[in-house]
Structure 1
């Protein structure tokens, strides 16, 4: 499965509203998990089995907790049994489709 998630605290004491320290704590959890992942400006996408992916999301959420009085968590999952390496393969299929459209 692929699961894209975004986790951030609210109720922080920072005047600039930045949540970068909290997000860094969450990304450290993701990296330590050794699951295939990709982090961009808005989401981190994980690839793995249901239980291991959601265990990492839970741990990342817990890592954000000390940074605010409330936590916002958004999750979107793509559950496709029998498929592996979809973090890369989905992008490869997209690029092929774009190339074919341009011919």
Structure 2
């Protein structure tokens, strides 16, 4: 399973960077394959372990803010591993072919 998620506190001012950094820390400490970009954090693993990480990230923000926003998109495909890099590699190969 590959997920992309974004979590953010609501109602806590203009900058959410410090809070989001704490959520990303939860993901990185999980040991699951992950990647963070300007909009989302991608996490790869089995359903239960990935969803547990998302829950922990939300919980960290909920400790700081009475309201939390979560956006989540999932690619659920049995038997697929390394989707985090394989999908991008496939696109890059197509682009290189012209």
Query: What 5-or-longer segments of structure 1 have no aligned partner?
Result: none
Counterparts of 1:53 and 1:83, CA distance in 2: 15
Instruction: Describe the SS at the equivalent of 1:67.
Output: coil
User: Residues 77-88 of structure 1 correspond to what in structure 2 (within 5 A)?
Assistant: 77-88=74-85
What's the counterpart of residue 10 of structure 1? Answer: 10
Counterparts of 1:36 and 1:76, CA distance in 2: 16
> Bigger radius of gyration, 1 or 2?
1
Count of aligned pairs between the two proteins: 98
Q: Does 1:68 align with 2:65?
A: yes
Counterparts of 1:41 and 1:65, CA distance in 2: 21
CA-based RMSD: 0.8
User: After superposition, what is the alpha-carbon deviation per residue over 1:34-72, rounded to whole angstroms, capped at 9, x for unaligned?
Assistant: 100000011000000000000000000001113322100
TM-score by length of 1: 0.91
Equivalent residue for 2:95, pick from 85, 91, 98 = 98
User: After superposition, what is the alpha-carbon deviation per residue over 1:1-42, rounded to whole angstroms, capped at 9, x for unaligned?
Assistant: 100000001111x3xx00011101101100110100000011
Counterparts of 1:32 and 1:3, CA distance in 2: 17
Query: What 5-or-longer segments of structure 2 have no aligned partner?
Result: none
What's the counterpart of residue 16 of structure 2? Answer: 19
TM-score by length of 2: 0.96
